[in-house]
Amino acid sequence: MQYLPICLKLHGAPVLLVGAGTVATRKARLLLRAGADVTAVAPEACAELQALLQEHGGHWRQGCYDTADLEGKTLVVAATPVAEVNYRVYEDACALGVPVNVVDAPAYCNFIFPSIVDRDPLVVAISSSGSSPVLARQLRHRIDAMLPAALGRLAAFAGGLRDRVKQAIPDESARRLFWEKLLQGAVAEQVLAGNEARAEALFDEAIASGAKQSQGEVYLIGAGPGDPDLMTFKAARLLQSADVVLYDRLVSTPIVDMARRDAQRIYVGKRRGDHAVPQGQINQQLLDLAREGKRVVRLKGGDPFVFGRGGEEIELLARHGVPFQVVPGITAANAAACYAGIPLTHRDYAQSVRFVAGHLKDNSSNLDWGGMQSESETLVFYMGLVGLPVICEQLRAHGRRPDTPMALVERATREEQRVLTGTLATMVDIVASENPQAPTLIIVGDVVTLHPQLRWYGE
C-alpha cells in the first residue's frame, strides 16, 4: 500500500492553491466543498475559479508564487502549467512539513486526491496511488451507479442514533450485530424511501429487542486455494461481518485481509508434525466464542468438506445447538487443475477422477492402491508432497505404467504458482531437484499431457 487512505477534516482550514486555470479550478471545487478556506495564487485566474472563490469566501492573490504564501497553511496544491514552479512549491512545502500535491506528478505528492463518490456524510474514495486515474474514475462510476442516491440520508439517520444504541447495547459485538441487521432491514428501507417517522418507530421496536443478549453464530467458510477472486460472494459477505476470524496456513494473506480491520484474528495453522493448535482445541474455541455472542468465521483452505475436517468442527456446534452455516469453497483439485491447464476429466483421456489423501502416518499408507490402476481415471493426491516417493512406488508396484504422466502443482492460483511435470518414474528426482514447498497437489493420469497446450496464460 503506497498511500494510507484517510479522511481529512478541512472545515475552516487554510489551504494554498498555486495556479488558477482549469485544473486548479477542479481541485478548488473539491477543497471548497470540504469547507476549506482556499487562497489561490496566480498571475491570472479564470472566471470560473474567481466565481467559486467569491461564492465560498475564498481568496485570490494576483501574482507569482512566493514561499511566504505557505505560512500557516494546512496543505498546498500546485496546479500550474510550469514544472519549475510546481517543483519549487513541492520542495518548499516538504521543508516546512506541509502536505503537498502536485497535480499529475505523483513523484511530487505526499498526498493525493482519490476519485470520490459523495453521499454526504457517506463518502467512498477510490485511488490507484496515482498510477491510473482513469481506472479509478471508471470504478467510481460503477460504484456511483450501485449506491442509492439517498444513502447519505441513511448514514445521517444512523449517526443520530449512535449514542442511544451505545447506551442500550453496551457489548460491542452485540452492538455491531444490531447495526448490521438494522442497516439491512425495514428501518433502512423506510429511511431510503423518505419515511423517517416510520423508521423511528421501527427503530424503537428494534432497540427494545436488540438490547437482549444475542446468540452467536459460526460460519465455516471455504477460502479456496489462495486467489481471493475465487471466493464466493456469500463467503466475502460473511467474512466482513465476523467479530472473530480463525484461519490456518492454507488461507492466503489477501483473503484474511478481507476481514474487518477490527475483527480479532486467531491463527490456528498446522504443519506436518507440528499441530500448534490441536483440532479438538479449535473445535472448542469455535463453541466458546459463539457462546459469547460473537459472529465467528472459520476460514478453511479449499473446501471445508474435502479433506478439511469441516465435519468435525461443526459436529460439536450441532451437539450444543449453536447455529452455523457452511459456505463451500473451490477445492484445491479443481482450482489447481484449471490454473495448470490439466482437465481432470477428458473424453479422450479420463472418464472419472478420484480424490485421495496422500499424507502418510508413521511413514506408511494403507490406501487401496490396487483400486487405482484404471488408465481412464485421474488420481488427485492432496497433502502428498512428503509421501511422494511412496505414492510413486506403490502405484508402480500395483500395476501403473512407469511412464504414466504426473504433475505437481505448487501454490495453485497464486502469483508464485509453479507446475512440475514428469512421470511416475521421474517425478521423485524432479521434486528433489526443484524443492517445491507446500501447499502442493499431485495429479496422476494421461490428462497431464494436455498441460503444455492448455496451461493457464498467467503461468
Place of cell 501574482: 63
- Contact (Cβ atoms closer than 8 angstroms) between residue 251 and residue 301: yes
**Active-site option among 69, 92, 243, 248:** 248
- Would the annotation count 225 as a binding residue? yes
- Would the annotation count 303 as a binding residue? yes
The three grid cell numbers given for residue 219, joined into one nine-digit string: 460460519
**430-459 per-residue burial string, b: 16 or more CB within 10 A, e: under 16:** bbeeeebeebbbbbbbbbbebbeeeeeeee
DSSP 8-state symbol, 271: B
- Would the annotation count 413 as a binding residue? no
- The CA distance from 198 to 191, in Å, is 8
- H helices present in 230-299, as ranges: 233-241, 253-256, 279-291
- Would the annotation count 63 as a binding residue? no
CA max distance for the chain: 90
- Would the annotation count 288 as a binding residue? no
Residue 248 is among the residues annotated as catalytic for this protein: yes
**Active-site option among 171, 181, 270, 446:** 270
Place of cell 456469500: 234
Ramachandran sector of residue 22 (left: φ over 0; alpha: ψ -120 to 50; beta: rest): alpha
- The CA distance from 7 to 347, in Å, is 57
Point out which residues pair with 295 in neighbouring strands.
217
- Would the annotation count 222 as a binding residue? no
Residue 270 is among the residues annotated as catalytic for this protein: yes
Place of cell 496456513: 249
Cis peptide before 81 (omega within 30 of 0): no
- Would the annotation count 159 as a binding residue? no
What is the helix, strand, coil percentage profile of the chain, to 5? 40, 20, 40
- Would the annotation count 445 as a binding residue? no
Element (H, E) at 359: none
- Would the annotation count 22 as a binding residue? yes
- Contact (Cβ atoms closer than 8 angstroms) between residue 395 and residue 370: no
Place of cell 531437484: 433
- Would the annotation count 44 as a binding residue? yes
- The CA distance from 304 to 309, in Å, is 7
- Would the annotation count 375 as a binding residue? no
Q: Residue 425 CB: number of other CB atoms within 10 A? A: 14
Binding residue numbers: 22-23, 43-44, 225, 301-303, 306, 331-332, 383, 412
Binding residue numbers for NAD(+): 22-23, 43-44
Active site residues: 248, 270
Binding residue numbers for S-adenosyl-L-methionine: 225, 301-303, 306, 331-332, 383, 412
